[in-house]
Amino acid sequence: MTNIPWDARLAALLVRPLCNSWVTPNHLTTLRLATGLGAALCFGSGEWLNLAAWLWVMSTFLDHTDGELARMSGKQSRAGHFYDLITDAVATIGLFMGIGWGLSSSLLGGWALFMGAIAGIAIAIIFHFRNEIEQRSGKAATKQPGFAGFEPEDSLYLLPLITWLDGLALLLLIAALITPIIAIVVGWQYLTQLDKV
Protein backbone atom coordinates (compact mmCIF):
# COMPACT_ATOMS: atom_id res chain seq x y z
CA MET A 1 0.00 0.00 0.00
CA THR A 2 2.86 2.40 0.71
CA ASN A 3 3.88 2.47 -2.98
CA ILE A 4 0.44 3.60 -4.16
CA PRO A 5 0.34 7.36 -4.95
CA TRP A 6 -1.98 9.52 -2.86
CA ASP A 7 -4.16 10.52 -5.81
CA ALA A 8 -4.64 6.86 -6.77
CA ARG A 9 -5.68 6.05 -3.19
CA LEU A 10 -8.24 8.88 -3.21
CA ALA A 11 -9.48 7.78 -6.65
CA ALA A 12 -10.00 4.22 -5.36
CA LEU A 13 -11.97 5.53 -2.41
CA LEU A 14 -14.22 7.70 -4.60
CA VAL A 15 -14.96 5.14 -7.32
CA ARG A 16 -15.73 2.22 -4.97
CA PRO A 17 -19.47 3.12 -4.88
CA LEU A 18 -19.50 2.94 -8.71
CA CYS A 19 -18.41 -0.71 -8.88
CA ASN A 20 -21.95 -2.08 -9.30
CA SER A 21 -23.35 0.91 -11.19
CA TRP A 22 -23.86 1.59 -14.89
CA VAL A 23 -20.66 3.67 -14.94
CA THR A 24 -17.81 1.91 -16.75
CA PRO A 25 -14.07 2.67 -16.72
CA ASN A 26 -14.41 3.94 -20.31
CA HIS A 27 -16.93 6.54 -19.15
CA LEU A 28 -14.32 7.92 -16.76
CA THR A 29 -11.62 7.76 -19.45
CA THR A 30 -13.87 9.78 -21.77
CA LEU A 31 -14.47 12.32 -19.03
CA ARG A 32 -10.69 12.54 -18.52
CA LEU A 33 -10.25 13.17 -22.25
CA ALA A 34 -12.99 15.81 -22.33
CA THR A 35 -11.58 17.75 -19.36
CA GLY A 36 -8.03 17.43 -20.72
CA LEU A 37 -9.00 18.77 -24.14
CA GLY A 38 -11.14 21.44 -22.46
CA ALA A 39 -8.05 22.54 -20.53
CA ALA A 40 -6.00 22.61 -23.75
CA LEU A 41 -8.62 24.72 -25.53
CA CYS A 42 -8.91 27.13 -22.62
CA PHE A 43 -5.12 27.51 -22.45
CA GLY A 44 -5.11 28.00 -26.22
CA SER A 45 -7.59 30.86 -25.92
CA GLY A 46 -5.07 32.75 -23.80
CA GLU A 47 -7.94 34.08 -21.69
CA TRP A 48 -9.43 31.25 -19.61
CA LEU A 49 -6.19 30.30 -17.88
CA ASN A 50 -7.54 29.68 -14.39
CA LEU A 51 -10.40 27.54 -15.73
CA ALA A 52 -7.87 25.70 -17.90
CA ALA A 53 -5.64 24.95 -14.92
CA TRP A 54 -8.48 23.56 -12.81
CA LEU A 55 -9.81 21.51 -15.72
CA TRP A 56 -6.34 20.00 -16.03
CA VAL A 57 -6.24 19.15 -12.32
CA MET A 58 -9.59 17.40 -12.74
CA SER A 59 -8.35 15.59 -15.83
CA THR A 60 -5.16 14.45 -14.10
CA PHE A 61 -7.12 13.10 -11.16
CA LEU A 62 -9.65 11.37 -13.43
CA ASP A 63 -6.75 9.56 -15.08
CA HIS A 64 -6.53 7.41 -11.94
CA THR A 65 -10.24 6.74 -11.57
CA ASP A 66 -10.73 4.59 -14.68
CA GLY A 67 -7.99 2.13 -13.78
CA GLU A 68 -9.12 1.89 -10.18
CA LEU A 69 -12.72 1.23 -11.24
CA ALA A 70 -11.57 -1.36 -13.80
CA ARG A 71 -9.59 -3.26 -11.15
CA MET A 72 -12.31 -3.11 -8.48
CA SER A 73 -15.20 -4.06 -10.77
CA GLY A 74 -13.34 -6.68 -12.82
CA LYS A 75 -13.94 -4.67 -16.00
CA GLN A 76 -10.35 -4.60 -17.20
CA SER A 77 -9.78 -5.05 -20.93
CA ARG A 78 -7.02 -4.58 -23.47
CA ALA A 79 -9.23 -2.20 -25.45
CA GLY A 80 -9.94 -0.12 -22.35
CA HIS A 81 -6.25 -0.03 -21.43
CA PHE A 82 -5.34 1.07 -24.97
CA TYR A 83 -8.07 3.74 -24.87
CA ASP A 84 -6.62 4.98 -21.58
CA LEU A 85 -3.10 5.19 -23.06
CA ILE A 86 -4.31 7.07 -26.14
CA THR A 87 -6.34 9.43 -23.95
CA ASP A 88 -3.31 10.14 -21.75
CA ALA A 89 -1.19 10.93 -24.78
CA VAL A 90 -3.78 13.13 -26.52
CA ALA A 91 -4.61 15.07 -23.34
CA THR A 92 -0.98 15.70 -22.37
CA ILE A 93 0.11 16.62 -25.89
CA GLY A 94 -2.93 18.90 -26.14
CA LEU A 95 -2.01 20.57 -22.87
CA PHE A 96 1.41 21.74 -24.05
CA MET A 97 0.23 22.57 -27.56
CA GLY A 98 -2.59 24.63 -26.01
CA ILE A 99 -0.22 26.46 -23.69
CA GLY A 100 2.07 27.18 -26.64
CA TRP A 101 -0.81 28.47 -28.74
CA GLY A 102 -2.08 30.65 -25.93
CA LEU A 103 1.35 32.17 -25.34
CA SER A 104 1.98 32.84 -29.04
CA SER A 105 0.56 36.35 -28.59
CA SER A 106 2.95 37.01 -25.69
CA LEU A 107 6.56 38.14 -25.86
CA LEU A 108 7.49 34.57 -26.84
CA GLY A 109 5.65 34.97 -30.14
CA GLY A 110 6.15 32.06 -32.54
CA TRP A 111 8.67 30.50 -30.17
CA ALA A 112 5.79 29.55 -27.87
CA LEU A 113 4.19 27.48 -30.63
CA PHE A 114 7.57 25.89 -31.37
CA MET A 115 8.16 25.02 -27.72
CA GLY A 116 4.64 23.63 -27.38
CA ALA A 117 5.19 21.48 -30.48
CA ILE A 118 8.58 20.25 -29.20
CA ALA A 119 7.09 19.28 -25.82
CA GLY A 120 4.04 17.70 -27.48
CA ILE A 121 6.09 15.64 -29.97
CA ALA A 122 8.51 14.53 -27.25
CA ILE A 123 5.57 13.45 -25.07
CA ALA A 124 4.11 11.46 -27.98
CA ILE A 125 7.46 9.68 -28.38
CA ILE A 126 7.64 8.99 -24.63
CA PHE A 127 4.13 7.51 -24.62
CA HIS A 128 4.95 5.37 -27.66
CA PHE A 129 8.13 3.90 -26.19
CA ARG A 130 6.59 3.39 -22.74
CA ASN A 131 3.70 1.52 -24.35
CA GLU A 132 6.14 -0.66 -26.30
CA ILE A 133 8.12 -1.41 -23.13
CA GLU A 134 4.92 -2.23 -21.24
CA GLN A 135 3.79 -4.60 -24.01
CA ARG A 136 7.13 -6.45 -23.85
CA SER A 137 7.87 -6.47 -20.14
CA GLY A 138 4.68 -5.58 -18.27
CA LYS A 139 3.45 -2.51 -16.44
CA ALA A 140 6.10 -2.77 -13.72
CA ALA A 141 8.80 -2.02 -16.32
CA THR A 142 7.34 1.46 -16.89
CA LYS A 143 6.85 2.33 -13.22
CA GLN A 144 8.15 5.82 -12.52
CA PRO A 145 10.15 6.61 -9.40
CA GLY A 146 8.09 8.22 -6.67
CA PHE A 147 8.68 9.86 -3.32
CA ALA A 148 6.39 9.87 -0.28
CA GLY A 149 3.34 8.91 -2.37
CA PHE A 150 4.00 11.39 -5.18
CA GLU A 151 5.08 10.76 -8.78
CA PRO A 152 6.85 13.15 -11.17
CA GLU A 153 3.65 13.73 -13.17
CA ASP A 154 1.94 14.95 -9.99
CA SER A 155 3.84 18.21 -10.44
CA LEU A 156 1.14 19.20 -12.95
CA TYR A 157 -1.32 19.43 -10.06
CA LEU A 158 0.48 22.73 -9.44
CA LEU A 159 -0.89 24.25 -12.67
CA PRO A 160 -3.39 26.53 -10.86
CA LEU A 161 -0.53 27.96 -8.79
CA ILE A 162 1.73 28.26 -11.85
CA THR A 163 -1.05 30.04 -13.75
CA TRP A 164 -1.79 32.34 -10.82
CA LEU A 165 1.91 33.24 -10.58
CA ASP A 166 2.02 33.89 -14.36
CA GLY A 167 4.56 31.10 -14.78
CA LEU A 168 3.22 29.39 -17.92
CA ALA A 169 6.06 30.68 -20.11
CA LEU A 170 8.63 29.23 -17.71
CA LEU A 171 6.72 25.93 -17.53
CA LEU A 172 6.63 25.73 -21.32
CA LEU A 173 10.35 26.47 -21.60
CA ILE A 174 11.20 23.80 -19.01
CA ALA A 175 8.91 21.28 -20.75
CA ALA A 176 10.51 22.01 -24.14
CA LEU A 177 13.96 21.42 -22.65
CA ILE A 178 13.25 18.40 -20.45
CA THR A 179 10.75 16.30 -22.42
CA PRO A 180 13.14 15.64 -25.36
CA ILE A 181 15.76 14.42 -22.86
CA ILE A 182 13.21 12.11 -21.24
CA ALA A 183 12.17 10.88 -24.71
CA ILE A 184 15.80 9.99 -25.47
CA VAL A 185 16.17 8.15 -22.14
CA VAL A 186 12.95 6.16 -22.63
CA GLY A 187 13.94 5.42 -26.24
CA TRP A 188 17.29 4.13 -24.99
CA GLN A 189 15.50 1.91 -22.44
CA TYR A 190 13.39 0.49 -25.27
CA LEU A 191 16.43 -0.19 -27.47
CA THR A 192 18.21 -1.82 -24.54
CA GLN A 193 15.26 -4.18 -24.14
CA LEU A 194 15.42 -5.07 -27.83
CA ASP A 195 19.07 -6.06 -27.40
CA LYS A 196 18.10 -8.50 -24.65
CA VAL A 197 15.59 -10.33 -26.84
Summarised one tens digit per residue, pLDDT across range 126-160 is 888 888 887 777 766 666 665 656 666 778 889 99
Residue, of 190 and 38, whose pLDDT is higher: 38
State how far the Cα of 148 lies from the Cα of 143, in Å rounded to an integer: 15
Q: Which of 1-5, 86-90, 101-105, 117-121 has the lowest mean pLDDT?
A: 1-5
Selected from 1.10.1530.10, 1.20.120.1760, 3.30.1330.200, 3.30.2130.10, the CATH number assigned to the domain covering 6-196 reads 1.20.120.1760
Average pLDDT, the chain: 87
Summarised one tens digit per residue, pLDDT across range 31-55 is 999 999 999 999 999 889 999 999 9
Domain boundaries, the chain: 6-196
pTM: 0.84
Q: Which residues contact 45 (CB under 8 A, 6 or more apart)?
A: 52, 102
In which band, very low, low, confident or very high, does the pLDDT at 4 lie, cut at 50, 70 and 90?
Answer: confident
Q: How many CA atoms, within 13 angstroms, populate the side-chain half-sphere of residue 140?
A: 2
**Model confidence at 85: pLDDT above 60:** yes
Q: pLDDT value at position 196?
A: 64
Q: How many CA atoms, within 13 angstroms, populate the side-chain half-sphere of residue 120?
A: 18
